[in-house]
Structure 1
Amino acid sequence: MTQTQTSPDRGRAALGPALELIHTGAAPTRSALTGALGVTRTTVGAITAELEALRLITVDARPVGAGRGRPSHRLEIDPQGPVVLAAQLHTDGFTLALAGLGGRLGQPLDLPLARLPRDTDPRVVLRTIADEAMRLLAASPRRCVGAGLAAPTPVTEPERLAVISACLGWPTGTPIGELWEEALRDAGLLLPPGVAPAVANDANLAALAEHRHGAGRGARNLLYVTAGHEGVGGALVVDGRLHTGSTGLALEIGQLTVDPDGLQCRCGRRGCLDVEAGPPALLTAYGLPANAPLAEVDAILAAARAGDRAARAAVDHVAVRLGHGIAAVVDILNPDRVVLGPFHSALLAGAPELLPETVAGRAHWGRFGCVPLRAAELAAPELAGAAELAWAPVLADPQLAATG
């Protein structure tokens, strides 16, 4: 009889799944990893030994108590192991960080718009980011085995084209993936053979990071809703994987109509979620210009929490429209959890009963189909998501780390 559970091939095939379980915190000990993989202790011993040899994890030599049964060895991410480069491009600058496994994001380096060239040519902008990234990498003794970029634009798959990048001043169809690779290559970044710099939409990446390391952990179908300087974005994680649709453009929820008589949207219609449930909408509801400084948004939210009636009315106005939009998406996707980005988390804190009640009252199944709303937990989910994107090849094939 073939012993598939302990064969070398089975152990090698399980390297990636094992590393992902440790990376997400789902297998903190060898006994937990044994149960999660459904293999023998001998096989898990071989797997963890190989991951340790690759400098990806450490195995505590002293077993720790695991309740009933024999003690087990604790598994940790190697603090001196390889890192990836995580980058996030904003409309007003960019942020860089080095990230280890386990969602361990190094100190982010925020570089304002002044550090970007006045020329908005995407090739020039991305090369500027790449040059700053190489300076960050040069200061670290750890090997770099990947690079990911979170971009404020939908990105098609597999072509990796920026579809709507007007906020960056770039033409529609900019080959952002190709230009990102070119910029890092010309700046001198060397990655393991077969590993290419990656790029994806920032909301999608934030959802992935929250699912693996934040408020979305344990959810099977996670809906993530967020708002940036311009517009409202959404993303869906199904069984641990991003659902991006046939060409990478799924869950662009900003064009949902939540108030037919509402504000004029850039798309030509009225009352889209983009203009009814983002920071500018709160400014407008409070009686300020939509382009007022974003610091005013924080001031309105703080005033609402302090009991200011006008501020509370503005928060409620936007929360209701956000609730209508979430209810529409919940009806279609039936997620088991909704995680809200920073601005919408603040709305939830300001309207802790109104927002959930609006979702339940508007959703087709009412409270039977109601899902919990949770505030995002990560300080920089888009940047953490860029790191997840960069780690993807190594999580699929940990032996790539040996050639970094």
Structure 2
Amino acid sequence: MIYTDMVCPFCGCLCDDVVIETEGDRVVRVDNACTLGTHKLMTTRKDRLKGPIMRDGAGGWRDASYEEAIEYAAGVLLDADRPLLYGWSSTQGEAQGLGVSMAELLGGVIDSTTSVCHGPSILAIQEVGHPGCTLGQVKNRADVIVYWGCNPTEAHPRHMSRYTTYADGFFLQNSFRERKLIVVDIRKTETASIADEFVQIKPGGDYAVFSALRAIVRGRGAVVPPTVAGVTKEQLEKIAEICKSAKFGAFFFGVGLTMAPGRYKNVRNAIELVDELNRHTKWTLTPLRGHYNVYGSNEVFTWMTGYPYAVDFSRQIAFYNPGETTSVDILARKECDACLIVASDPGAHFPRKCLEHLASIPTVLIDPAQTVTTPLCRCQIPTAVTGIDASGTAYRMDGVPIHMKAFLDLGYPTDTEIVGRIFEKVKEVRHP
């Protein structure tokens, strides 16, 4: 079978022109996907658990039925005083919505991987707004592209070919020659090697460079010193002139900016630079999101609770205070006494102190395959993968919702089914 116009379930680009060929329940060929997306689609059956597993009481694992695992997960959450529901960035929006409802009923905390990647972006946007647009507008109009603190060539391999440097648009017939590419980073990356202008800054110098660029764009360049964070004033003036001369500019930034010293203040300064440039021409700004539906978690959480991540229901109302209600902080302070992890791998990313607490409390993982988090858990429930053997909704990095279609049936329940069944067990006790 050949399936066309499929959506790749890897990164926030959500490429929707993928062609997949299958033989039985195996993927034998993938066209139009990047190396990362192709690997995920081609190895969809590799390392998957055949069914739920639970601790056997002697430090090992034993097989369990879905009903037993679901009963255990519901019991753990019901027994907890302050359960944490974490992850949600690599699953369908339908499961995310059920997760929010369950967290509210339990009086727990629900958080997504946003809190350890683009959370600072959201904090900055809440302060000064978001001058954004769709990726289609960038493709068709942008003649100047800025990548700051990110390396799309390796992290989002088709971003440049679909939307920026190599993508011909309605108003740009020869994009590679008509567009200018500016890359700002602390080291020369694969993306920087093809840039028209590469600005190499010292680690932690982002805020100062933004401030200098804002001064130059504002006509106050006299206050800028000869070098700023390792960048000469001459190069900053050149960059500012390129940006002011653009017909339409698009600014993309990654975790190299959000996780650098300054955090959300860096992003705020970036947005204010875009605001300054909009006094001269048209500029937009877009966070280069990682997981394919991390933007969706922010959307779903926001339209259900009013807050994009780290939502605490312990007061019987939605409460949001990053630094207090974010998962890393809750685990580090040993506040939660149970954890449900959905479609995420905190074991590979969280600080050791957090993982030690995660291993000491009843933790349930919903994930198709064993991960670094598996040894920290007491139960793991395998599910289908959205975009492969499960359908669902995901939001692209520019906020556009896209329906992801399944093309295989491997017999696994979806995340929505499993979370829904756990939720039903919880409602039987809380709302009999």
| Same fold (TM > 0.5) | no
Q: TM-score, normalised by structure 2?
A: 0.26
Structure with more relative contact order (C-alpha pairs < 8 Å, separation 6 or more): 2
Q: Which has the larger share of strand?
A: 2
